Amino acid sequence: MELSVTLPESILSRLEKFNEYVTELKTYRQPSLDRFKQDHLLHHATERCLQLAIESVLDIGSHLIAAKGFREPRDYEDILAVLEEQKVVPAEFTLRLRGVGKFRNLLVHEYVDLDLDRLHDYLARVEDLELLAKTLVQAIQQI
C-alpha cells in the first residue's frame, strides 16, 4: 500500500510496520498445513507477525475512532464494530474479519493453547487486513 505524506506520523509509522508484517506473512503461506505444523520457527514467526499486523491495523482504526469522536471501543474486537456502526467499513467486510481482535488476544495471552490449524487459516486473511488498512487510511485522509 502506498504511503501518503498527508497522514499523521503516528499513522504513517504504524502503516509502514503493517506493510512490513504483511509482506513477511505472505511469504509464510507457501507450505502445506503439515509442513507448517512441523516447522516451529515458521509458525512462531507467523504468530508474531500476525499479532503485530492485527495490532497495527486495529491501532490505526482506534486513531480514526478517536479523531472522529466515535464511541470508545471496549476492546480490540470492538474496534471493527465501532467502524461498522459509523459506516467506515461495510458490514459484509467486518463479517469476514469478525474475530480478528479476539484472535490477536489469543496470540498474546493464550499462546500455550494456540490451534495451529487456525493460525494457518489466518494467513489467508492477510488481504482482508490489507483492505481494512486501505479503507482506514482513506477515511483518515478525509478528516
Task: Determine, yes or no, domain membership for 28.
Answer: yes
Task: Determine, yes or no, domain membership for 2.
Answer: no
CATH number at residue 47: 1.20.120.580
pLDDT digits (tens, 9 = 90+) for 89-109: 999 888 889 899 999 999 999
Instruction: Name residue, grid cell 474496534.
Output: 79
Task: Determine, yes or no, domain membership for 3.
Answer: no
Cα Dmax for the chain: 47
Closest CA to 60 of 83, 94, 86, 30: 83
The count of domains in the chain is 1
Task: Determine, yes or no, domain membership for 1.
Answer: no
Q: What is the CA radius of gyration of the chain?
A: 15
Measure the CA–CA gap between 24 and 1, rounded to whole angstroms: 14
Task: Determine, yes or no, domain membership for 61.
Answer: yes
Rounded to two decimals, the pTM is 0.91
pLDDT digits (tens, 9 = 90+) for 11-62: 999 999 999 999 999 999 888 899 999 999 999 999 999 999 999 999 999 9
Domain that residue 122 falls in: 9-141
Task: Determine, yes or no, domain membership for 4.
Answer: no
